[in-house]
Structure 1
């Protein structure tokens, strides 16, 4: 699932080609809105809200879409051949005189009154890339469940909106704690929240979710996606295993976590990389300061 910074870039791209322009083509290919006629309406703005996209139209309508795992918006110039997938995968089409935005495999396509947007996104916590970012509120929501493991707490969009699995893993490493560490035991949780805001802000207009400061493809992350590779700090092989997702009803393998057993202290889950699991990491007494 795309992180909040990726959704921010999608919104910026759509805003660039649709914002302020009148729709000359509109086709919502979902049963609930297949007969909706949006041609002639002006796109007021395309705004991200966490991992949600809100395309606001004049006349008080909002098109709400979500990419989830496989969805994608692609932009084409007028007359250009669409190449994002098979025609049956198209869920939404919004076109102007100069460009056409095509939504492929969108699992959420919802047309609703703009005044009722909160019914769809009102449950979200403070938006890490939103104009009304509230760090204190995000911290309050995280600490409301002090026994909850830090990784799923960060992934829970009701606490703070925009963090995906890449950042959840990287933030745990940078804080020096394992993903299973209870929220209430994370030293200076306020710094973790501040770092999340900083990282997404730095990456909102570039690809790769860079957390190390090195934009080279193989150097972008500390631990995420680096199972069995040496830790960039201490050389210990990075471990990996499955972890339950942030929300209720999720399966135990909905997330994969990566951690360094030396640099990160706290409880661990069973490893699936052949290294075995343990109750605490080698770095239990070696808590590192947040970088």
Structure 2
């Protein structure tokens, strides 16, 4: 499931292939951008902001669009992915899933099944509603702690998933973080050590930002990476009680949570 670490890693791969490179061909495969063309422009940066990915593109001598700078904003949602291929390499996903193709002289970057794909002249303004990015190089926890603590009566599991409070945590990490801090996701924020929770969130996401296999247990075997997420009915690695699964409302929708009632009560 794409979360802040997944997007950070995708940005790193795209940056290595695109940063500073001139786009020799671009193709958008969604109706809203069907006539857009960034051919001839140069990629000036690739960056992640929480679960959002921005490819910043400068102008070109033969560009008559009037845009000196534009950003390609994407969000992976549940199924999206960015792949980078040397020119001529077979794609790893079907062509009908491709939403955008960016080609340089040597590489091709393809965005598949992207939940959001748009061009914007004001990327930072558009994303100003987000809370502090857990994977930012300038990370400082004070504001994230303040925003979460302001939701004193809200369940901590709901607050952790709210990108307006802190950016980068998804459903996997909120279940794992609550387990590691020994609190049920339904516990009100006022009863949680928010400073310790935010510190742990930063450390866990940072440790996983470039891993090919996300782990919160420190183990990399496929069946040993998670403490609770996806383990309904299996035995808790700490106490041996069955892991439970339930729903927790989150910003207008129900999202599945996993927990050990014995360890987290």
Q: Into which bin does the TM-score normalised by the smaller protein fall?
A: over 0.9
Cα distance in 1 for residues equivalent to 2:222 and 2:212: 10
Aligned partner of 1:9 in structure 2 is 9
Match status 1:157 vs 2:157: no
Does residue 242 of structure 2 align to residue 233 of structure 1?
no
Deviation (angstroms), 1:37? 2.1
Count residues with an aligned counterpart.
Answer: 256
On the 8 A contact 1:6/1:207 being kept in 2, the answer is no
* Structure 2 unaligned regions, length at least 5: 60-68
The answer on 1:171 being equivalent to 2:177 is: yes
> Given the two structures, how large is their TM-score scaled by the length of structure 2?
0.93
Residues 209 and 81 of structure 1, relative CA distance in 2, 3 Å threshold? closer
C-alpha deviations, 1:59-109, integer Å up to 9, x for none?
Answer: 31111011101111112211123231243x321110001111111111211
Provide the residue aligned with 2:86 in structure 1. Answer: 77
Q: Deviations over 1:194-247 (max 9, x none)?
A: 0000001110010333111122221111111111111111111111112223x2
The answer for the alignment partner of 1:200 in structure 2 is 205
**Within 1, Cα distance between the matches of 2:85 and 2:12?**
15
Structure-to-structure mapping, 1:195-274, within 5 angstroms: 195-245=200-250, 247=251, 249-250=252-253, 252=254, 255-265=255-265
Work out the CA distance in 2 between the residues paired with 1:79 and 1:233: 49
* Aligned alpha-carbon RMSD (Å): 1.3
Tell me the residue number matched to 1:136.
142
Inter-partner Cα distance in structure 1 for 2:98 and 2:227: 36
Structure 1: which 4+ aligned runs deviate by more than 3 Å?
none
The residue matched to 2:229 in structure 1 has which SS?
coil
Structure 1 segments unaligned to the other structure (5+ residues): 266-291
Whole-Å Cα distance in 1 between the matches of residues 213 and 185 of structure 2?
Answer: 21
Q: Which residue of 1 aligns with 2:102?
A: 94
